A and B are shown apart, each in its own frame.
Chain A
Amino acid sequence: MVHLNAFSQSSGNLWLSTGFQAFTSRDAGFSSMKYSGPRSFSTGAFALQRPHKTETFQVEFGIGPLSNQIGNSLNALSAGFWNSTFYHREKDADRGLHWGWSNQNLLNLRRHNGFTNYSLRYDYFTSIGPALRYRYPFQWKGQQFSWQTLAHWQVVGFQIKSGFIGADPAGVTEDGEPLDNFLRAVDPFYVGRDWHLGLESTLVWTLPAGNDLALRYRPEFAFLKGGQPIHRVGHAVSLLINFRIW
């Protein structure tokens, strides 16, 4: 009975988004110069809101060409899985400040179009860290809106990066056992040396049927040190649609 009550008070929402991202990256393994450009950026998320917490599971994908100030170009692809949990046991889930945590798993791949050898490089990290959400519902011209700003800061985890010269991480050998290679390739991710900070600000318009349309601005910053350092900055603007599943 308790379980049924809990279920009846929960809601499940599917959020789909697409838009563009002004993306800039610098991988010292390729160049001392920045590569920038607009690229497509899409996400799909499932949000499960319960009386005491809200969990979100999101996949994201970005792809597009970037160029530097002298006209050289590379193709940059990002694919990731992000999830968050925000707690609101004593609070209104749709209003106010909620603390929680998030987990980021992000792969970035780039292929340089001007280099014949060692033209592919990548990095991947898995990390967790604190997250903060602010929700503010309001009405305007008889319509229901809400504002949400969310921030997450990745603190600790692990990373795998391309080596000093080539795509393979340092220490990985073709003939090595997969587990040995993984252990050689993996490096810690910890705040102070490595950084990843993400924000999202979303304006949501709730339609009479209960679904939502939204506009989101999402900046993110990343810096992975060690070997060849990598800087990344992205500013994504996306249009979202939400289907209320239950």
Chain B
Amino acid sequence: MVRPASYSWILVVFLFSCDQWLLPPDPASDPTAVFDTLWEDVNHRYSFFTHKDIDWKQVRADYRPRVNDQMGQLELYDLLAEMLFELRDGHVNLSTGFNRSRNWDWYRDFPVNYDENLIEQEYLGGDYWISGPLQHQVVDEVLYVNYRSFGQRISEANLQVVVERAKRSRGVIIDVRNNGGGNLSNAELLASAFAAEEIEYAKQRIKSGPGPDEFGPWEPMTIRPWEEGTYTGRVIVLTNRRSYSATTFFAQMMKALPNVSLVGDQTGGGGGTPVFGELPNGWTYRFSATQTIDPDERQLEDGVVPDLRLDLNPAAVGRGEDNLIETAIFLLRR
């Protein structure tokens, strides 16, 4: 009785002590280790080094000497945020308890081309329909639909209302200006309501190894017609530089449809799906880990170019008009 029990306790102690040997401890949480963890993960998994001609090793050479283990949390955050800014990517963030780094250069230096008050006063009016996140109104026999965030879920019932109203109109305007993105499934559902047949709108590939050009195969991205019924009449999508991420994908989906035109400014981009990570000091981050190209092999990261480039005209705004909406109405009624 005694012998096997004694052996078992020795075995238990031995095996628990093996844990440390078999499963090495977590990386240290000092500033140098945090810097190295972040730099290395970005180095292995970020997807646009070659496309953006970024020398990430040079970035390390520039920033690593500025790290020391005596620096405070705020100093370290500033340094890491500055380093991540070099990626020129709106899908890159460093999140801490006190701040979140970001790069919003994809829209900051470009015209806004959107006036929400003007749209509410002159186009939506006081009696517009609200179908989930879709706000819509018939303007001059054209259905105007405003969708402010793909993060807000569209239900099938919401979409059914829009499709039915579209069928009674002379065309549809979908306004996704200032829509910063959200869930791609909402973009796919909305686009599917305007597709007459299955169509490939882009190709996507994902990082498959640590090298800057190690990717899996290009995989087609397609839109299928919505099973509940589609509207295949003419559609115009309004975009601006603040149309980002899932909204860029939506713009590309719609652009690939033969009955759809894009009017406005090119979208802000955001063609890389972000992957998440965490640092040993508790901070989290994300960055792009995929690439998406349109049928002409243009990266969606650079934005989707409209069929008709148009800025909001201050003189038109002064007259109480959104000249992008007015142009869309004119084109649809023509």
Q: Which residues of A contact B (CB under 8 A)?
A: 24, 26, 31-34, 68-72, 112, 114-119, 136, 138, 140, 145, 147, 149, 163-166, 170-171, 173-175, 199, 201, 203, 217, 219, 221, 223, 227, 231, 233, 235
- Docked Cα-Cα span, A34 to B284, in Å, equals 15
Chain A: interface secondary structure?
loop
Contact of B1 among A70, A145, A175 (CB under 8 A): A145
Q: Give the 6 A-B residue pairs with the shortest CB-CB distance, closest first.
A: A70-B282, A115-B276, A147-B4, A219-B15, A165-B289, A33-B26
The minimal Cβ–Cβ distance linking B162 to chain A, given in whole angstroms, is: 27
Indicate whether B278 reaches chain A with its CB closer than 8 angstroms: yes
CB distance from B149 to the nearest CB of A (A): 15
Closest chain-A Cβ to B186's Cβ sits at a distance in Å of 14
Interface residues contributed by chain B, number (CB under 8 Å): 42
Closest CB in chain B relative to A164 CB, distance in Å:
5
B277 and A31 within 8 A (CB): yes
Check A164–B22 contact: CB distance below 8 A.
no
CB contact under 8 A between A165 and B275, given known A175-B219, A233-B19? yes
Q: Is the CB of B219 within 8 A of A170?
A: no
Task: Determine if B209 is an interface residue (Cβ-Cβ < 8 Å).
Answer: yes
Selected contact of A72 from candidates B1, B219, B278, CB within 8 Å: B278
Residue of A nearest to B184 (CB): A117
Whether the Cβ atoms of A223 and B217 lie closer than 8 Å is no
Determine whether the beta carbon of A173 is less than 8 Å from that of B207: no
Given the complex, which residues of B lie within 8 Å of A235, measured CB to CB? Answer: 15-16
Instruction: Tell me, in angstroms, the Cα distance from A175 to B203 when the chains sit together.
Output: 13
A31 to B41 alpha-carbon distance, docked (Å): 9
Set A116, A117, A203, A217: member contacting B12, Cβ < 8 A:
A217
Does B11 count as interface, using CB distance less than 8 angstroms?
Answer: yes
Inter-chain contacts of B41 with A (CB < 8 A): 32
Given A173-B217, A199-B15, A233-B22, decide whether A165 and B45 contact each other with a Cβ distance below 8 A.
yes
Known contacts A70-B278, A72-B278: A201-B8 contact under CB 8 Å: yes
CB of B23 within 8 A of CB of A233, answer yes
Tell me, in angstroms, the Cα distance from A63 to B217 when the chains sit together.
34
Knowing that A34-B23, A70-B281 touch, tell me 19 more A-B residue pairs with CB under 8 angstroms.
A31-B278, A33-B26, A33-B27, A33-B278, A33-B280, A72-B284, A112-B276, A117-B276, A118-B289, A136-B4, A138-B1, A149-B8, A165-B45, A166-B206, A199-B11, A219-B16, A221-B22, A223-B22, A231-B22
